[in-house]
Amino acid sequence: MHPILTIAIKAARRAGNIIQRASLNMESVRVENKKHNDFVSDVDRAAEAAIIDVIMEAYPKHAILAEESGAKGIGESEYEWIIDPLDGTTNFLHGHPQYCISIAMAHRGQIQQAVVYDPNRNELYSASRGVGSFMNDRRIRVSKRINMNECLISTGFPVVDQSMLDTHLAILKDVLGKTAGARREGSAALDLCNVAIGRVDGFFEFNLKPWDIAAGSLIVQEAGGIVTDMHGEQTWLESGDIVAAPPKVLGQLLPIIGKHVK
């Protein structure tokens, strides 16, 4: 295992312990609204601090991009960690067990190492570029389904930035008419991992942040899937508009989406 991946796993598990301890006493969790439908709790901040402490102890000169504390050292290092300490905060605050820790490390702008940890199921997804994707040390692959009418597609509703809501609903209507169904779980990082392990056959969402998708995207790619933007291009990390699926499903999903986006 790559030493950077080892540190990422250590950081993810430490954050997971903080989050799960807090889940046993939700009445004591303090919550703030960053904006409409965008929440942050003291648990997010504590988990993020723990992750950064582990990383900085091992790699003090690396740059950090984290959801709650922002950017540190960007442009000063070839190495950048992209961190979401609690992807699915709204789920966590409601006791809905669909949330995770997402940690990625990019070298010269390319994601090289990735960890997504689901503390409720104790499922730890990891990937190193060129090595493959794993869940708890078991190699994982995207699904082998080809026919769209057999496929289950995951998505996320645009509840914070609703500028694409009408477009999203139009796409979803088309998807529902051509597939076995759609799911909205509330954690983009876990949605991507579900593509990687074959629990769903594709995923699309608009206006996500780098920390939502950096780790999960590499896990999909190393599991044999393809990640693009809505036009099949590679701008997804910058734009936040993302589609992920096995190759033959992606080829059918992109035209469905493409009818509705400019």
Contacts of 27 (CB under 8 A, 6+ apart): none
Contact 172, 260 (CB under 8 A): no
Contact 251, 236 (CB under 8 A): no
Contacts of 137 (CB under 8 A, 6+ apart): none
Could you report the per-residue pLDDT of 122-160, keeping only the tens digit for each? 999 999 999 999 999 899 999 999 999 999 999 998 877
Using CA atoms, how far apart are residues 113 and 82, in angstroms rounded to an integer?
A: 10
Using CA atoms, how far apart are residues 257 and 174, in angstroms rounded to an integer?
A: 8
Residue 249 has pLDDT above 70, yes or no: yes
**How many other β-carbons are positioned within 10 Å of the β-carbon of residue 12?**
29
* DSSP state letter for 26: G
Bridge partners (DSSP) of residue 97 are none
What 3-state class would DSSP assign to 22? helix
Could you report the per-residue pLDDT of 42-81, keeping only the tens digit for each? 888 999 999 999 999 999 999 999 988 889 998 899 999 9
Torsion sign, CA atoms 138, 6, 82, 70: positive
Could you report the per-residue pLDDT of 185-200, keeping only the tens digit for each? 999 999 999 999 999 9
Contacts of 97 (CB under 8 A, 6+ apart): 91, 120, 121
Residue 97 has pLDDT above 90, yes or no: yes
